[in-house]
Structure formats: structure tokens, C-alpha cells
Structure 1
Amino acid sequence: MTIITGSTQKIHQGSLNLQYLAAITATINIIVSGMHYGWPSPSLPKLISNTSAIHVTDNDGSWIAVMPLLGALVGSLLAGTTVDIVGRKRTIIVSSIPYFFTWIMIAFANSVLMLNIARFIAGIADGWVFTAVPVYISEISDPKIRGLLGSGVSVTWIFGLLLINIIGSYLSVSMTALVSSILPVLALLTFSFVPESPYFYLIRSNVDEARKSLQKFKGVEDVENELNRVDLAVKADAEKSGKFLELFTNKNNRKAVFIMMILRGAQQMSGTTAVTFYTQSIFLEAGDKISAEVATIIYVSVQLLLSCFCSSIVDKAGRRPLLLTSITGSAFFLFMEGAYFYIKSCTTIDVTSFSVVPVVALIGFIVIFSLGMQTIPILMLGELFSSSVKGFALCIADIYFAVIATIVSKFFQIMKDSFGMYAPFFAFSCSCVIGLVLIALFVPETKGKTLEDIQTNFRNEKNNKSIEDA
């Protein structure tokens, strides 16, 4: 312990500026991903309208919306192995190429089929970046700022949502796509100049390059203690073989998979992705005096600001308190949203005077959701798993996310069309209550711990019998 503590003191005498720079450039493609996910909100109403050059039905629109989720299944499967073979950095860089061409395809699309193909390819790139970026950031970050940098994945994704809603609300579908194509080019040009993760070099037994990477990221020349600590951890993980089945045969990994499923499941069963796809449609049906475009921009802006706030306090407040507060408040506001639409459509009560309620409830939801549930599940993906299985683990996590998000998004559309807008919101509220119970029982605190400390805690944990038997 003394060696590690001394190493930590030396590290903090250096500069962490390159860690910030690497995280910022790595997440530019996360912005692009957010833009693709948010694209249906301003674009589908235009495509479904009578003035659209492409004939798009409501059902076509729902499939166009969820197509990146289906593509992410393929991308995640590919990324599960590429992050450990070609590296975290190269995987992130290569994702810029399909992102660029998908925007060009959307700009010149003349059929629903072309839009679906473009969105599917974008989803493949999503699978790459959402596997590689959390791994990369968790491995290059000092424990004191890992929460801040790791939660930046969610913050930049939300920034992408805001950016596409602003651009898409005031430009045509084609011009929006052309403007958006600038971002993957910027990612390709900037991220190429930052170092690879030292963990990856050690996995490939390249100690010299790992030392150079650590020296750059820590801002000091003497990194031997840190290098030895990471090298021992990587070798210990390698002895466990690092095979895909280790995720389920190893007790520590089973715990991590179980926690991942709770966090990502609770996050997506709240309906956040469905709401993102259909934000403008929800506000249009709410019928408030504020235009749907303006309301959507306000909604995503609040989401961005609160996610930034969460990122700034997560290393001080801790993961668990923010998660529990966030999901409790989300359940309340989703119930309020459902109650308004139920009263409006299923009773004779005049709600004209209360038309601001759904806007307030939805913004309230995103305020409280962004305080924890938006950012922390993705942050903890990079913390929970040992380096030997992290690539496979995030592959499984992304596939799990894509399946759940697709089901929830289609569920939203089906329930809305079959019963009314209130039905999915009531269901999402109930899901948050279930998620609250599971998080309270099973999700650990990882604040201020090194990645190796977290694995040690899993091994020494004696009070989590329920997870061990899962």
C-alpha cells in the first residue's frame, strides 16, 4: 500500500492536462453519436409531413428512429475484440469514417431504405465508440478525476442531442446532415495525436510504450511505481485467461455484469431513449403555447447543464447518492407526465389552463434524471470490469443497451398509438421504482478508488451473497 500511495503522490505533482485533452478529443465521436440519436426529433416531423420529398409513414419513422440501436448490436460485437487487438485508440479513430459517410448518405437519401441503411451503419459506429471510449477514458484517468472524465461521455452525447436539435429545427434535413458531417472529420484530425492507453500496451506486452504513455498522461518522468502496479494488475487479469466465458464463470465478473444490467436496465426502462427520439412529437401533442422546437431545445439544454453539474460533483458526492436521488425523482415526474395525458385523453376535464404541466414535468424529469441516471451508468461501465475482460464486457453492455432501448422505443410507439400518450409514461414510472430498489440493494460505491481497488473489493466482499449467487 505504501508504494501505491507514494506513486499517487508523485503522479499528482505532474500535470493531468493531457488526460483532459485526450478525453475531450475521444468524445467528439460521442457528440456525433448523440447527433444521430437526436436526429429523429427535429427530422422525422419534416419527413412525415406532406411536403417531404420522401414518403415516410409513422411506422417507417419508428424504424428509422431505432435503426442505430440495431446497428449497435453489430458494432458492439466487432468492438468487443478489436479494442484488445487493434487498440482503444484505433477503434475510436476508425469510427469517424462510417460516421462521416452516413451523414453524406442521409443528406442525399431519396428513399426510406437509404435512410435506414445510413442509420444502421451509424449504429455500427456507435457500438465501436461506446465500447472503446469508456474503456480508454477509465484507463488513462487519474482516480481523482476519473468520475469527471468518465461522465463526460454522457455529457458530450447530450451536447450532440442539443446540437442536432438546434441545427435540425432551422435547416432542412439534407443541410442538417451536411453540417453534421464536419464533426467526424474533426474527431479524426484531433484524436490521432493523443497517446494510446498504457493498459493496452501492457496487454500487448509492450512495456516501453506503456511507460511512455504513462509519462505523457501523468506529466512526470518517474512512473515506475505506477507502471509496476498496472503491469501486475494486467498480468493477474491475463492469468484468468480473459476469455468471453470469464464474464460468467468468474465470480467477480458475474457481480460486475449483474450490476451493469441493473444500471443500464434502470436507465433505459425509464424511457429516456424513447423520449429523446420523440421529444418534439410529445411537445406537439401536449399542445402548449411554446413551440415544439423551442421546448425541445430548452429540454435538451437543461439536460446538458445538469449532466455537466453531475460530472463536476460525482467524484465528491459519490455514485450511489446521485443514482438513488435521480431515479426517485424520475419516477415522480414520469408519473406526473402520464397523469396529465391520462386526464387530457380519458376524462372530460378541461386541461387547457394546465397545458404547461407536461413541459414542466418532462423538463423536471430530465433535470433529476441528468443528476445521476444519465451519466453514472456509463461512467461505471469503465470501472466495474477487470482489464482482461473489459472489451468483452462493454460489448455485452452495448448489446444489452441496444436491445433494451429498441424494445422500449418500440414499446413507446405501440403503447402511444394503442392506448394514448399516458400509457408509456405510467409504465416508465413503475420501472423507475423497480430500478430504485435494485440500485439500493446491489450497486456499490466506487468513488475515489483505483480500478484495481474496485476489483479487490469485489474479491473481498462478503455481504453481497445475493449477487454472488446470481
Structure 2
Amino acid sequence: MQISVHKNRIYQYMAALTGTLGIVSSEMHYGWPSPTLPILLNGTDKLQMDETEGSWLTIMPLVGAILGAIITGLVIDILGRKRLILLSSIPFFISWITIGFAETSVLLHVARFLAGLTDGLSFTAVPMFLGEIAEPSIRGLLSSMCPVSIVIGLLLINILGSYLTISTTAFVSSIIPVILLVTFVWIPESPYFLLMRGRYDDARSSLQKFRGSTDVETELERLAKAVKEQNESTGKFVDLVTCPSNRKAVFIALGLRSVQQLTGITAVTFYCKRVFEKSSNFIAPEVATIIYFTVQLVLSAISCLMVDISGRRPLLIISLAGTAVTLLINGTYLYIKNCTEVDTKDFDFVLLATLLCFIVIFSLGLQTIPLLIMSEMFPTNVKAFALCLADVYFSVIASVISKFFHGTSNAFGMHVPFYTFTVCCVFGLVFIVLWVPETKGRTLEDIQRFLKGEIKM
């Protein structure tokens, strides 16, 4: 694969760089509790709250994302991918400004619910858009920009939140959706969507811009034929269950999302700074958190470049096996530290080291590939419903896992959730080996033929 930016692909790369700014803003909201929650719980800010209220504030975006994904699934094939991505900038901006001016915890909950609602929009529209505009040879790279943007958002909010006040952090963060609005407006609409709406000439113009060439008739005819076949019957939500190929796609997509979340990654993200407080004798929690997300960003970017070279399955298998080992070491260290008489003061670096290893190996595959494969699995007539379902599912499972992490850590010790996540990784390996296909270099149409049993991959 050619990594350098080809002139004829400039619109594809710009679409990925600008469109994912909404995901950056969304993940800044998700990562916001890590530097902020300790301040709210310690009573050092004008706003104060207890542990229970703080745990609900933490998962409020996940609650909002459920409603946002449902709404997006209903309107994205009417309004279009580009329009919804642009519209997402407005509620993201409002949510940050609300946090900046909030003087009650109620306003904080409302703002974070609104951010979650918009997250449901972004995580449905952006992966769909990038999957539809990308050439097969770089689809892995472009689609992987979504999970890379997740890490960028988490790193940014931890840097800002560690050194600025809660209000100043929110005001600075509100700049991101503004940049999204003024940059993405120049990107063409998806040719798939335009063909779905019968706008053949507009689809040709869009494809010419994305391919940097006027010679697109062969590809346009292939896309038009695929869209026509996939939309011969109007897609319904129930088609995800009643159609065998869609049912297989749902099983693979949601299975991978489960494997990813059952490593505990979202819970660790929410409570990252509090986890690192366990090794505060070795390094400041703020510094450890920033190092953690910086390493995650670098490795996610490397995975983004590798995914179209090495393939999806090898990276997933290596990533999950390594993640299981680091989780086991983490759990064992925390058990020894909290449940035995062994003096671990001289070994506080172990928690930082193993969590850094965890995020290194996690980012090689599990960070980027589940979202990438999800954008590849579904035909156009049900893709909106599928991504809506996936985002609702993610919000539910991430909420449950985060509450599980919080509850079991407080009741039994932090080693319990880490041991639980280790066991889940073992089951995840079995799932990937048996059921996840290799989609590297395949067109979206080839993937549909595989799901229907017409070809092998």
C-alpha cells in the first residue's frame, strides 16, 4: 500500500481528517471524567458531588448516545451523511458551552446527555460516510481514522483538564466543533447516498472529486448496480434479523464490539486517573494519564497504517492475546497490593508499566478494527439501521461494564474487574478465530457476496 498522500486521493483524506473532528469532540466528552471527576468529588471546585452522582455523570453520554443513534438511523438515508455530520457540530458546541457556564450538577448532566445524543449521530454517520467514499486499497486506513480520533479526543481532554479549570477546559474544547463546521462543508456527499436518492449526475461529480479523475464511469456503474440490488426492497430494521446475510453481519459486528469492550477499555478510560492514583508514589496521576493516552495515540496511528498491509485478523488475534496477559498481570499486582501483607511500595511502577503495555497491545488491533469492520459489513439499505443498533449496543454494554468496574472495585477491590476482563479476552480469542473474516482489499460488494455464501474469504 502506498502511504504517501496521492493528489488524486486528497478529498478522501480530507474527508477523513475533517469528518472525524466530531468524534474527537465526542471522545473529549467521554474522557472528561478522568481529569474532572476527582476535582468534583474532592470538593475543590464550585460544583461538588458524591460517588453515586459522579458515576451517573460519567456514563450520561452513553445514555444519550442510545437515543441519538436511534434518531440517526431513522433520518440518515433521508438527510444524508454529510448534512448530519455538519449538523452534529451545533449540539457539540452547545454542550461544551453549557459545561463552561454550569453552576449546578443538573446542567452538567444535561450537557453530557446532549453530547452523548450527538455522539450517537457521529458514530453512525461518520463510519458510514468514510466506508462509502474510500477506495478498497485505503478503506482500512480511512475508516481507522475514527478510532484514532477517539484517542486524540481522550488525550486532548486529559491534557486540558489536568492543567486548566473545568470552565476554561470546556471553552477551549468548544473550538473543535467550530472547526468541523467550517472545514467539512467543502467535502462532497457520499456517492452511495446520491445514487440511493436517484441523483446519478451528482454521484458522478462526487466520485470524480473523491477519485481525482474524470474517468469514473466503470466504478459508477458498479456502485449504481450494487445500490439498485441492495435497495430493490426498502430496508427495514427487522431485515437485520430476518435476512441470513445481515444476521451473520450483525453477529460478527456486535461480537467484535463485545470483545473490544469486555477488555474493560471504556471503564479504564473513564477512571484512568483514579487507577493511576494507585501508583502515585512513583509518578503523578496526571502525568501517567497523559503518557497512557499518548502511547495509545501513537500505536493507534501505527495500526491505522498497518491494517491494509497485514490484514484485520492477525492484528486482532495478536492484540487480544497480549491484552489478556497485561490484564492478568494488572489484576495480580492489585491483588497483592490490596489483599496481602506484601509491601509493594518499591514496585508502584508495575501498574503504570502494565497499563502502558495494555494500551500498546490493545491499540494494535482492538482499538481500530472493530469499528472498521462494522462499517464494511452491511448493504446500503440496512446500513443506517445496523450502525444505529451497533451504537445503541455499544452504549448499553459500555454503561454496564463501567458500572461493573465502579461497583466491583469499591466492593471487592480493583483486581476483581481486571481478572474478569482477562477471562473475557480468552472467550474473545475463540470468537475471532472461528467467525471473523479477513476483509483486507475486498470491495464492499465482495463482502456482501461472502456473507451470502457465494464466495470464500
TM-score (norm. length: structure 2):
0.97
Displacement after TM superposition at 1:241 (Å): 2.6
The answer to whether 1:186 aligns with 2:179 is: yes
The equivalent of 1:387 in structure 2 is 380
The equivalent of 2:341 in structure 1 is 348
Q: Is the Cα contact below 8 Å between 1:334 and 1:428 reproduced in 2? A: yes
Listed as ranges, the matches of 1:278-289 within 5 Å are 278-289=271-282
Residue correspondences, number: 453
Residue 106 in structure 1 maps to residue 99 in structure 2: yes
Which aligned runs of 4 or more in structure 1 are off by greater than 4 angstroms?
Answer: 461-464
CA distance in 2 between partners of 1:398 and 1:197 (Å): 21
1:13 deviates by 9.7
Equivalent position amino acid for 1:228 in 2: E
Cα distance between partner residues in 1 of 2:6 and 2:340: 65
In structure 2, the residue matched to 1:223 is 216
- Give the deviation of 1:108 after TM superposition: 1.1
Partner amino acid, structure 2, of 1:195: P
Partner residue in 1 for 2:310: 317
Other-structure match for 2:239: 246
1:450 paired with 2:443, answer yes
Give yes or no for the alignment of 1:165 onto 2:150: no
Q: Write the distance in 2 (CA, Å) between the matches of 1:168 and 1:309.
A: 26
Q: Using a 3 Å threshold, how does the CA distance of structure 1 residues 252 and 351 change in structure 2: closer, same or farther? A: same
Q: Percent identity?
A: 53
Amino acid at match of 2:159: I
Alignment partners' CA distance in 2, 1:328 and 1:96: 38
Letter in 2 for 1:397: A
Per-residue deviation, residues 85-126 of structure 1 (Å, max 9, x unmatched): 100001111111110000011111112111111000000000
Cα distance in 2, alignment partners of residues 325 and 461 from structure 1: 29
Structure 2 match to 1:206? 199
Tell me whether 1:255 sits opposite 2:233 in the alignment. no
> Which letter maps to 1:333?
T
CA contact (8 A) 1:14 1:218 kept: no
Tell me if 1:127 matches 2:120: yes
Which of 128-137 and 81-90 deviates more? 81-90
- Cα distance in 1 for partners of 2:96, 2:250 equals 34
Per-residue deviation, 1:14 = 7.4
1:42 counterpart residue number: 35
Q: Deviations over 1:6-63 (max 9, x none)?
A: xxxxxx9971111001111101111101111111101111111122211211111111
| 1:356/1:438 CA distance change after superposition, 3 Å | same
Change (3 A) 1:400 1:13: closer
Alignment map for 1:305-384 (pairs within 5 Å): 305-384=298-377
Structure 2 gaps of 5+ residues are none
Segments of structure 1 that go 5 or more residues without pairing to the other structure are 1-11, 465-470
Distance 2:107 2:124 in 1: 26
Indicate whether 1:52 and 2:45 are aligned. yes
Distance in 1, Cα, partners of 2:317 & 2:199: 42
Alpha-carbon distance change, 300 to 14 in structure 1, aligned in 2, over 3 angstroms: closer
How far has the Cα of 1:83 moved from its partner?
1.4
Amino acid at match of 2:331: G
Asked whether the equivalents of residues 278 and 348 of structure 2 are also in contact (C-alpha less than 8 Å), the reply is: no
- 1:287 deviation in Å? 3.2
CA contact (8 A) 1:14 1:220 kept: no
Letter in 2 for 1:53: K
Secondary structure, aligned partner of 2:75? helix
User: Aligned partners of 2:258, 2:303: CA distance in 1, in Å?
Assistant: 20
Please give the residue correspondences for 1:126-165 in structure 2 after superposition, counting only pairs within 5 Å: 126-165=119-158
Give distance in 2, aligned partners of 1:181 and 1:357. Answer: 37
The change in CA–CA distance for 1:251 and 1:368 in structure 2 (over 3 A counts) is same
Which amino acid is 1:412 matched to?
Answer: F
What's the offset of the Cα at 1:157? Answer: 1.2
Give 2:270's aligned residue. 277
SS of the residue aligned with 1:308? Answer: helix
Q: In structure 2, what residue type is equivalent to 1:267? A: Q
Q: Distance in 2 between matches of 1:109 and 1:395?
A: 31
TM-aligned CA distance change 1:51 to 1:212, over 3 Å: same
Q: 1:245 deviation in Å?
A: 1.0
Matched AA of 2:304: S
Quick one: which of 69, 75, 89 aligns to 1:76? Answer: 69
* 1:461 shift after superposition: 5.5
Contact 2:235 2:382 in 1 (8 A): yes
The 2-side partners of 1:242 and 1:53 are apart by: 50
Contact 2:449 2:455 in 1 (8 A): no
Q: Tell me the equivalent position of 2:168.
A: 175
* Contact 1:64–1:119 under 8 Å retained in 2: yes
Question: Which residue pairs with 2:434 in the alignment?
Answer: 441
1:297-327 CA distance string (max 9 Å, x none)? 0000000000000000100100000001101
* 2:75 maps to amino acid: T
